[in-house]
Structure 1
Amino acid sequence: MRKELINILEIIKLGEKLKYELRHSWLSNGRQESVAEHTWRVSLMAMLIEPYLKQEIEISRLLKMIIIHDLVEADAGDIPAFDTLTSLDLKEQKVKNEIKSIEKIRDTLGDDLGLELYNLWFEFEHKETYEAKVANALDKLEAQIQHNEADVSTWLEIEYEMSFMMDKHVQFDSVLKKLKDMIEEEAEQKLRNAGVNVEAVKSGVLNR
């Protein structure tokens, strides 16, 4: 048991890195967001939305999936979605880095727990199960909520378009679609208040 606890403690210490690994998102008080803060709020969203989903869900598996999905960034770092959207090379590099990291986590634990976390990470990535689809949707929605809460001066221009590119992540569940619509409406109002031509932005999304 001592050996197993040593391995578990090593992964817990790995998690500390997520407290200072920063994302390209800013808080409403002007401070940059950490990966750990993003993961925590995605988990909160899962807990709050679970009773309203149209299909019964295994909440413990969903929460594990959310937590383990971002843990790889302690080693691999965070490559923003807008970078992988515009660069196939970066997208491939991100996948390679993260697979290497989840393999390291699996091998560190070296038992059924390590294999469970490894499988959960790939379940999230493949987005085939209902839980994985929910986890992915909440991950994307939380990021947009955070953008909506930040000063619009922190947004890159490509993030204007990304505010209207979440449909594909929520189509499988009507409740998540409604939540997405509300978050999108907030983004649209924020952009209009900043003098952004929202119609032109939406036109760019349609032409992608």
Structure 2
Amino acid sequence: MDSNNLIKQIDFIKEIDKIKYIQRKTKLFNSDRNENDAEHSWHLAVMAIILAEHSNRTIDILKVIKMVLIHDIVEIDAGDIFIYDTQKKHSNTDEERIAANRIFGLLPKEQSEELIAIWEEFEAGNTDEAKFAKSMDRLEPLLQNISNHGGTWTEFGVNYDKVYEKKKVIKEGSDTIWNYAESLIEESVKKGILNRNS
């Protein structure tokens, strides 16, 4: 056993406990309590396992699970950026890159490089695994907002066009899930929980 590796791994495990304190704007299903990043990542991992059959392509499900479990760890340092934020773009920022290097850098070199590569692959969104992982990342808050009668859409005045633009990424990972999600978006407009106007 490499005791030096073990110490580094334990340090990483302690550090990522902080993700439990990162509050998201989205609230839990049928709730007024904000979800935290740890809950979000766990939920995406289970969703990926359950919904994998709907992926457009054959995927390495273990890699997808790794992606969704680690994709928001950088928010320990960089903070959560609301997907509909009009001031700051919800994408790979310099702050997130610095955070990834610091946090994953706590691990032994081989594991550090692997997780940084997986995080980068998710952020780039070009592989089949990343596309499916991003589908899960966009589907969960859609379902949450619908369960909360508009949720963050209502709270922050987010209209149909913005929701549709952000959610259509789902199609890259799964046509089947996108068809379902699109129908939910349209139904939300009909029910008056999503406004077509700004």
The verdict on a shared fold, with TM-score over 0.5 as the criterion, is: yes
Structure 2: 5+ residue stretches without partners: none
Q: Deviation at 1:121?
A: 0.7
Amino acid at match of 2:15: L
Q: Which residue of 1 aligns with 2:109?
A: 111
Q: Which residue of 1 aligns with 2:49?
A: 47
Which deviates more, 92-101 or 36-45?
A: 92-101
The two structures have a TM-score, normalised by structure 1, of 0.82
Q: Deviation at 1:153?
A: 5.5
Instruction: State the distance in 1 between where 2:167 and 2:31 align.
Output: 29
Instruction: State the distance in 2 between where 1:195 and 1:100 align.
Output: 38
Structure 1: 5+ residue stretches without partners: none
Q: Deviation at 1:134?
A: 1.0
Q: Equivalent residue of 1:24, what SS? A: strand
Instruction: State the distance in 1 between where 2:149 and 2:163 align.
Output: 14
Are 1:36 and 2:34 counterparts? no
Q: Equivalent residue of 2:35, what SS? A: strand
Q: Which residue of 2 aligns with 1:146?
A: 144
Alignment of 1:180-199 (within 5 A): 180-194=178-192, 198=195
- Please state which structure has a larger fraction of its residues in helix: 1
Instruction: State the distance in 1 between where 2:51 and 2:193 align.
Output: 33
Which deviates more, 30-39 or 8-17?
A: 8-17
> Percent identical across equivalent pairs?
30
Instruction: State the distance in 1 between where 2:113 and 2:180 align.
Output: 38
Distance 1:151 1:16, change over 3 A: farther
Which deviates more, 105-114 or 33-42?
A: 105-114
Q: Deviation at 1:159?
A: 5.0
Q: Which residue of 2 aligns with 1:101?
A: 99
Q: Deviation at 1:110?
A: 3.5
Q: Deviation at 1:92?
A: 8.3
Q: How many residues align?
A: 194
Which 4+ runs in 1 deviate beyond 4 A? none
The two structures have a TM-score, normalised by structure 2, of 0.85
Q: Deviation at 1:94?
A: 6.1
Q: Which residue of 2 aligns with 1:126?
A: 124
Instruction: State the distance in 1 between where 2:166 and 2:91 align.
Output: 23
| Aligned-residue CA RMSD (Å) | 2.4
Q: Equivalent residue of 1:25, what SS? A: strand
Q: Deviation at 1:93?
A: 9.0
